[in-house]
Amino acid sequence: MLENFRPGRLDEWDIGFAAMSPRNERLIFVPEQRRLLDTFAAQIALALERVHFVEVAQEAEIGMSSERLRNSLLASISHDLRTPLAVIAGSASSLRDERARLSQAEQDQLLDTLYDEAQQVSLTVSDLLEMTRLHSGRVELDRQWYPAEELVGAAIERSKRQLAQHRVQTRLDPQLPLLHVDGVLIEKLLVNLLENAAKYTPAGTLVTVVGENAPGAIVLCVEDEGPGLPSGDEERIFDKFYRAGREAAVTGSGLGLSICRAIAQMHGGSIAAANRSGGGAVFTLKLPVEPAPPAAPP
């Protein structure tokens, strides 16, 4: 086709594109082509400008979200660490300056207070670190096969100090299949739910863990006999740091339930909260069931 090319004009078979002149090797455009190219260039520039605007807007939104999270984090740290640290300082000061005048029982009481408040500080810091780790997106699940009753039993054992003033019972279906989960994280989730029940319910009330089969899933419920959830808080209580409507005297980071939801979602499951018809609250964890591994040969 090049033998039909004539220098200095656009070839008839390529009227839609620019031809190359062998004399000056410059692109030659007719006015229609130039207008078309100008239109293309304007559209490309507009598209790039929009992409840049979206990127800037996303960066600004990320920055605002990070700032909000940082402010909430600082507020939570200030609120949840100020009181226990003040108690620790006061108790330590009394032991240092007044030990000679304190009875052994009073000294033991101050030591117990120091231990309890130090534990509270440790739990708050642990929750902050756990929340940061889970929401970083870099956590890899170490999935193993576990009986549900083993995970529930381990969680109750870890929470026995917090549940010391409560009655605890389990109702687990004996036919529950094995769970293919990260045992450490699921145990942490159950511990958070049990300790949450212990915090918000009167001493002497019953905390029950129920395990049932559902289509394609196992359902684990933690039920209590407390005052229940404030109306409208059933979903918001899973937000980071959200504690509106909760008892002001109850300490904690406000992250326990947010951590529970993050762990459930990482396993492809879900968690929800509701009020029980007979009073109290129920937290329902649903975890998908996978086909069990083949039994090892005898």
Answering whether pTM is above 0.85, one says no
Q: What is the CA radius of gyration of the chain?
A: 32
| Residue 32 and residue 68 share a domain | yes
Of 139, 162, 180, the residue that ends a domain is 139
pLDDT of residue 144: 92
Give helix 183-200 / helix 256-266 axis angle, nearest 10°: 150
The alpha helices in the chain, defined as continuous H runs, are 31-98, 104-134, 148-158, 183-200, 256-266
For the stretch 173-214, pLDDT in tens is 999 999 999 998 999 999 999 999 998 899 999 999 999 999
Name the residue type at position 65. Answer: S
Q: How far apart are CA 165 and CA 186, in angstroms?
A: 24
User: Of the candidates 114, 139, 164, which is a domain's last residue?
Assistant: 139
Query: Within this chain, do residues 63 and 151 fall inside the same structural domain, yes or no?
Result: no
Q: Is 97 part of a structural domain of the chain? A: yes
In three-state secondary structure terms, 31 is helix
Per-state percent for the chain, helix, strand, coil, to nearest 5: 50, 15, 35
**In this structure, are 196 and 76 located in the same domain?**
no
Instruction: Identify the domain boundary among 107, 139, 171.
Output: 139
167 and 192 assigned to the same domain:
yes
Task: Note whether 134 and 152 are same-domain residues.
Answer: no
What is the distance between the alpha carbons of residues 231 and 195, in angstroms, rounded to a whole number? 22
Mean pLDDT (the chain, rounded): 76
Residues 176 and 99 in one domain: no
How many separate domains does the chain show?
2
- The two beta strands, 143-146 and 179-182, are antiparallel
- Regarding whether 215 and 105 lie in a shared domain, the answer is no
Does 158 lie in the same domain as 171?
Answer: yes
pLDDT at 101 over 70: yes
255 and 160 inside one domain: yes
Mean per-residue pLDDT, 135-148 = 82
Give 224's pLDDT tier (boundaries 50, 70, 90).
very high
Burial of 216 (0-12, 13-18, 19+ CB in 10 A): exposed
Residues 35 and 99 in one domain: yes
Residue 171 has pLDDT above 90, yes or no: yes
In a domain, 244, yes or no: yes
23-59 pLDDT tens trace: 444 455 556 656 666 676 666 666 666 655 555 555 5
Query: How do residues 53-89 score in pLDDT, each as one tens digit?
Result: 555 555 555 455 555 655 555 555 665 677 778 888 8
* Residue 203 lies in domain: 144-288
Q: Give yes or no: residues 263 and 157 share one domain.
A: yes
CB 220 within 8 A of CB 209: yes
